[in-house]
Chains A and B, each alone.
Chain A
Amino acid sequence: MTRIQVLLCSGTACQSSGSDKVKRALLEALGLHGLLEEVQIIETGCMGPCELGPVLLVYPEGTFYVRVRPEDAAEIVEEHFLKGRPVQRLLWTEGAPRPREIPFFARQVKLVLSNCGTIDPEKIDEYIAARGYEALGKAATGMTPGEVVAEVKRSGLRGRGGAGFPTGTKWELVRAGAGDPKYVICNADEGDPGAFMDRAILEGDPHSILEGMAIAAYAVGANHGYVYVRAEYPLAIQRLQTALAQARKLGFLGPGIFESDFSFDVEIRIGAGAFVCGEETALISSIEGRRGEPRPRPPYPATSGLWGKPTLINNVETYANVRHILLHGAEAFAAVGTEKSKGTKVFALAGKVQNTGLVEVPMGITLRELVFDIGGGVPAGREFKAVQIGGPSGGCLPASLLDVPVDYDSLSQHGAIMGSGGVIILDDAACMVNMARFFLEFTADESCGKCVPCRVGTQMMLRILDRIVAGDGSEDDLTRLTEIGVMMKKASLCGLGQTAANPVLSTLRYFPEEYRAHIRDHSCPAGVCPNLVRYEVLAEACRGCDACRRACPTGAAQGKAGNLPYRIVDELCIRCGACFDACPFDAVRKEPR
């Protein structure tokens, strides 16, 4: 009889940290003690704190272990499973074994992620036991399509892919669209740097997406659906394929679902490495077997989408919300969140923050709660500087805006966007100009080239930023950046171009003094931009090892053992950083010029 259940995270991140080796070691140790019948190991989807992986959760009492190595398996089995003493050194915080005692988890509200990390995503029975496909049954057998649309509308759910369009309204448009057949598409082409919530849902709870799509198809009158997944997510594709086969076998997909006359099936389409395919019209082109280039809207996909037919296209997290609305009712769903942003949102915390990983929080939580209470703040010794929210289309918000509530409208009012939910925390070691340049380089690279404002605009802005970080910028450049940015916002064909300037515009708005320092003083205050720093030897750390002198290509690093410290002559320095990299004692420092 099973006495203990071990939930072992086997998301991509934990797999990469060796969760499968931990599993083998645990099984071996269990076998050694004859416990294989008593302890069950269940592989689940992502539990959130990816950096601490591999992680596992032991039930019935709910002990959360982090950074488990295969070598730890014997101790876990002997101490915990046999003697009932949790292994303290493997806990996140000593003395606090349960997730709800850990701040990272305590402040979260898990709706979309409720199954991620608690069920085995490859077993449909576990999904069903978590009320899976109940909402689909309710819709297909007890509600009219119009009632389903009305319920989703009343819930206030908005698209989680970034733009935040009201989901129910979109469904209504597709339902009313003239043309037959109609299609339902799931946009699983997650590509925003730093966002991986869709991957976690695809890997950890694939059935919730299929169920959401089936409910949507019933509501809009479609019989055929596609999930468009990027090829970079092989595990997600595999779990989705498994889920599809299982759902078909049990009749949740296919003809006559729940013995109604509603039929629906789903096919998987795999991308081939193009960021712009996350844009809905580009994605549709890609499914049709063409270059993934966007086209002007209107007409919107709701009236003319795949093969020119009315097409509903929502993203992964949006579909994953749907079953909860039908299960608990629109009112219960809308009880969480703010007036215009209902429900929860999944964020991926990354960058200079204590706790990185995936978190789900109610809409309207403040940035401060997100970064400090859940994220644990910036690691000791550094100061919080800004939070970059919304990926390459998003903006950087400074410390003075930490109390802004995280919802669609408040964020866009301050020049950022909700985006897909990537959050990068920056500390005082970050150069905002360099950061903006980095994102712009990305969008310039990913611009598909079809429309001029985006194709030329990103290149022009990048050229100006290159000048500024090299110390050759002028005050006029700042005006020019704003002009080009605003023009791109207004004139670009799709969301990529319309938002590409956001990182630049928001940093210009909140950190103008950093741009000025680069331009006027030829100095990078954070000491990041290679051309604008000065290298110095910290006298007390220098041991005269001669590494910097040998590494320096221009003879700028000078010194002799016995006559410490070494020094770097600024006039000879070409700022290649070789001395900085070579010094084994961190005695070479970068300072603003």
Chain B
Amino acid sequence: MKGKPMTKDAIAARHPRSPEALLSLLHDLQKANPENFLMPDDLALAASHAGLPLAAVRDAVTFYSMFSLRPRGRHIIRLCESPNCHLAGAWSALDELRGSLGVDVGETTSDGAFTLELTSCLGACGVAPVMMVDDEIVGNLNPERVRNTLARYREGR
């Protein structure tokens, strides 16, 4: 999806003009933004496309944790903070992430590469502790694996 930039109208055109398309449309608009967030005109576009008042779109966007109204990094790191990952030592992975990235949870690195977030269970408990980088699940985390994964993403995979 990220290969060829599409205009926002072209993205909208792939969704039916109905309220039920709202979440999918917002996902696509956010993904198309290199800074991984929804801009005011995205919300306006989504509202007019889905036939909803702008307030209703804002209402929905602020409810779901995956949507952001502020710029984020090119890659979103979501570290699982559920019991299984907790028991398996997610906190040492978090320390490594904080240290390597130089940011705290909810912040973006100064080069705009990564945003660090926490998430509830990713359903990959067999390889806990786990994090998700964009759409990739990275499990069996230890400080070394965290560092290698970050390096891989910094080099553009």
Contacts and interface: CB of A to CB of B under 8 A. Distances in A.
B23 A196 contact: no
B100 interface: no
B7 interface: no
Contacts of A16: 124, 127, 130, 137-140
B125 A231 contact: no
B87 interface: yes
Interface in A9-62: 12-13, 15-17, 49-51, 53
Contact of A15 (B52, B83, B137, B140): B137
B83 A438 contact: yes
A272 B139 contact: no
B84 A289 contact: no
A271 interface: yes
A357 B126 contact: yes
B84 A232 contact: no
Given A234-B135, A272-B64, A273-B64, A193 B20 contact: no
Interface in A306-357: 348, 350-352, 356-357
A276 to B, nearest CB: 9
A239 interface: no
Interface string A427-468: 000000001001100100010100000000000000000000
Q: How large is the interface on A (under 10, 10 to 19, 20 to 34, 35 or more residues)?
A: 35 or more
B21 interface: yes
Given A191-B121, A292-B64, A53 B56 contact: no
A428 to B, nearest CB: 14
A274 B65 contact: yes
A287 B19 CA distance: 8
Contacts, number: 134
Interface residues of B, number: 42
B66 interface: yes
Contacts of B44: none
Interface string B17-41: 0111111101100000000000000
A192 B121 contact: yes
Given A13-B127, A191-B121, A291-B63, A270 B132 contact: no
Given A273-B64, A273-B119, A13 B124 contact: yes
A272 B26 contact: yes
A438 to B, nearest CB: 6
A311 to B, nearest CB: 13
Contacts of B119: 232, 273
Given A16-B130, A17-B127, A191 B138 contact: no
A152 interface: no
Nearest to B118: A445
B82 interface: yes
B41 to A, nearest CB: 19
A510 to B, nearest CB: 18
Given A12-B137, A270-B23, A272-B66, A356 B86 contact: no
Given A16-B124, A270-B24, 13 more contacts: A13-B139, A50-B124, A194-B82, A195-B121, A232-B78, A269-B23, A272-B26, A272-B65, A273-B65, A274-B63, A288-B19, A289-B20, A291-B59
30 contacts: A13-B127, A13-B139, A16-B137, A16-B139, A17-B139, A17-B140, A51-B126, A53-B126, A192-B121, A193-B120, A194-B121, A196-B121, A198-B123, A231-B66, A232-B132, A270-B24, A274-B64, A288-B19, A288-B20, A289-B18, A289-B20, A289-B21, A289-B50, A290-B60, A292-B64, A350-B125, A350-B128, A424-B87, A442-B120, A446-B120
